[in-house]
Structure 1
Amino acid sequence: MENNMTNKLPKISEAELEIMKVLWSNSPQTANEIIEELEDTMDWKPKTIRTLINRLVQKEAVSYHQDKGRMYAYFPLVSQENYLQVETKSLLQRFCGAAFKPLLVNFLKEEKLSSEDINELKRILDEKTEENKRKDR
């Protein structure tokens, strides 16, 4: 099922992604809270932000519930991790075709990684090594 959801992610524009980032960092939030967070950094009018929120609701990337004060509280239906997975795959296919290794090597050389990041990468590589060993048996 996870894979099925991955393939059916709604297409999220750059502007809509800014709304998603706000909701991923803290949700649920009302439209006014989202507006407050984005107004200064994005230089958008409240009407623009409301339009973007409504688009995300129509695309089923965001949903809402109504609280007692009849305010809509918005929350993401698409997880940040799921979105990143799909976008990363798409990016790799567009730019690299099958040449994933050079991109990864370049990223690792250029990126400043914390000890935590390095340990996480080691853990992932160890898992992949184990998977390959099982396949080779």
Structure 2
Amino acid sequence: MEEITKAQEEVLRALWEINEGAVADVIAKLPKPKPAYTTVATVIKVLEKKGYVDHKTFGNTHVYYPLVSKEDYAQHIMKDALKGLFNNSISQLVSFFVKEKDVPLKELEELKKNIEKEIKKQKS
């Protein structure tokens, strides 16, 4: 997967929300201040060139849709972060978030439960 900019990611997020739509539909999902129509159209074209988005044509209208799922993109981003920032150590990654961010007790307990479940699974 090719790297994308924050602006491209924001447009991709809007497309994930609407599943498919014209440039105007994407703009409607973006936060204020809304970017110009031509700016969003250009960003979409770049995403299309990078393989993140494709379109169908209905008359003069292009309807865009994501080719990459939110889950696949998240997995790619997390793998890059794990490799680049945490020396491929999941332990370092989890420790970072537990120490650097106020993680509610409920989430810590859920994380612990998921880890224990995975340990049992791998031991079986």
Query: Shorter-chain TM-score category?
Result: 0.7 to 0.9
Are 2:94 and 1:93 aligned? no
Q: Which has the higher helix share?
A: 1
Cα shift at 1:98: 3.8
What corresponds to 1:14 in structure 2? 6
Cα shift at 1:44: 2.4
Does structure 2 retain, via aligned residues, the 8 Å contact 1:39–1:45? no
Structure 1: stretches of 5+ with no match in the other structure: 1-8
TM (normalized to structure 2)?
0.80
Cα shift at 1:29: 1.3
TM (normalized to structure 1)?
0.73
Q: Please give the residue correspondences for 1:38-117 in structure 2 after superposition, counting only pairs within 5 Å.
A: 38=30, 40-41=32-33, 43-67=34-58, 69-109=59-99, 110-113=101-104, 115=106
In 1, distance between residues paired with 2:109 and 2:52?
32
Structure 2: stretches of 5+ with no match in the other structure: none
CA RMSD of aligned residues (A): 2.5
Higher relative contact order (CA 8 A, sep 6+): 1
Cα shift at 1:79: 0.6
What's the % identity of the aligned pairs? Answer: 25
Does structure 2 retain, via aligned residues, the 8 Å contact 1:39–1:46? no
Cα shift at 1:50: 0.6
